[in-house]
């Protein structure tokens, strides 16, 4: 299957002009690190930077809550610190899921652009 995809890519590149071929090359499949880097580009980069900052704050808060859970002796305080620990671990997890969804959205948009280029060239 991979060879067939590579053959199709080569056929498309040979049929495109130099400018279109360069654009098509930019739409190639990205590695996970390139996908993460793609989150810090475009209109949503400040949102992603904010997500990273908020995640770091809540990870630090979860460490504090964990240390308090270990040292506390009162049951009511243990419950409160445990709930704080759970909550402070949940927020970075949800933000990470949001970032993964953004990475998938970017990958899908890239594939749609490749299809649009292919269809536009066939016409």
Alpha helices by DSSP H, the chain: 2-15, 18-26, 32-39, 45-71, 75-122
Contact 55, 96 (CB under 8 A): yes
CB atoms within 10 A of CB 120: 9
Least confident of 18-22, 29-33, 63-67, 105-109: 18-22
Kindly report the pTM of this predicted structure: 0.70
Q: What is the pLDDT of residues 54-92, one digit of tens each?
A: 999 999 999 999 999 999 999 999 999 999 999 999 999
> Where residue 32 falls among pLDDT bands split at 50, 70, 90?
confident
> Where residue 48 falls among pLDDT bands split at 50, 70, 90?
very high
**How do the domains of the chain map onto residue ranges?**
2-122
């Amino acid at each position: 299957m991979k060879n067939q995809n590579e053959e199709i890519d080569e056929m498309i590149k040979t049929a495109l002009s130099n400018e279109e071929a360069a654009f098509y090359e930019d739409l190639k499949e990205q590695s996970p690190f390139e996908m993460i880097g793609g989150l810090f580009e475009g209109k949503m980069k400040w949102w992603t930077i904010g997500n990273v900052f908020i995640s770091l704050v809540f990870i630090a808060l979860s460490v504090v809550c964990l240390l308090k859970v270990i040292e506390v002796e009162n049951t009511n305080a243990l419950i409160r610190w445990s709930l704080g620990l759970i909550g402070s671990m949940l927020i970075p997890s949800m933000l990470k899921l949001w970032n993964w969804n953004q990475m998938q959205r970017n990958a899908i948009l890239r594939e749609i652009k490749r299809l649009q280029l292919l269809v536009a060239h066939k016409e």
